[in-house]
Amino acid sequence: MKIVIQRVSQANVKVDGKVVSEIGKGMMLLVCMEKQDDSKVVEEASRKVLNYRIFADENGKMNLNLEQVGGEILAVSQFTLSWNGKKGNRPSFDNSKEPNEALVLFDKFCNYLSASAKVEKGQFGEHMNVSLTNDGPVTFSVDF
């Protein structure tokens, strides 16, 4: 499982020109389910994401987590993250989880997150236009 986390002041997803989800301050997550991922990985990843201290405290130091700042999450499935780019010039997504299985795990991941934060989602499998204002900029890439 790979996740790109961006601290945002706002983010939204459009499908066919219509906003289907949007958040204010919080995290924009690009989420890739890979072949080896299972429910255990998804649960651990959700716990870690919720506890990452990537928001500024009163001294401007990254010391607060999402819940402490009342932040929201916009999660978007992004199977293209499975390509590592080291071999060849044409992307291969052979390590991506099969779409039906990926959707089940993506939904589990979002459900775990929603126990502690407002979670909006992109539309799985659709062509989406993602727009965000990166706050910082602050961006992290993590593998689970």
- The per-residue pLDDT for 88 is 87
CATH number of the domain where residue 133 is located: 3.50.80.10
Tokens of 34: 């890979």
Separation CA 30–CA 3 (nearest Å): 5
Plot region of 60 (φ>0 → left; ψ -120 to 50 → alpha; else → beta): left
Overall residue count recorded for the chain in this entry: 144
- The per-residue pLDDT for 42 is 98
- The per-residue pLDDT for 87 is 86
- Report how many domains make up the chain: 1
Close Cβ partners of 79 (under 8 Å, ≥ 6 residues apart)? 32, 33, 93, 96, 97, 99, 102
Give per-10-residue mean pLDDT for the chain (144 aa).
98 97 98 98 98 97 98 97 90 94 98 97 96 98 97
Close Cβ partners of 17 (under 8 Å, ≥ 6 residues apart)? none
Structural domain of 12:
2-143
Q: Contact, 26 vs 74, CB < 8 A?
A: yes
- Which residues are part of the catalytic machinery? 80
Q: Contact, 105 vs 43, CB < 8 A?
A: no
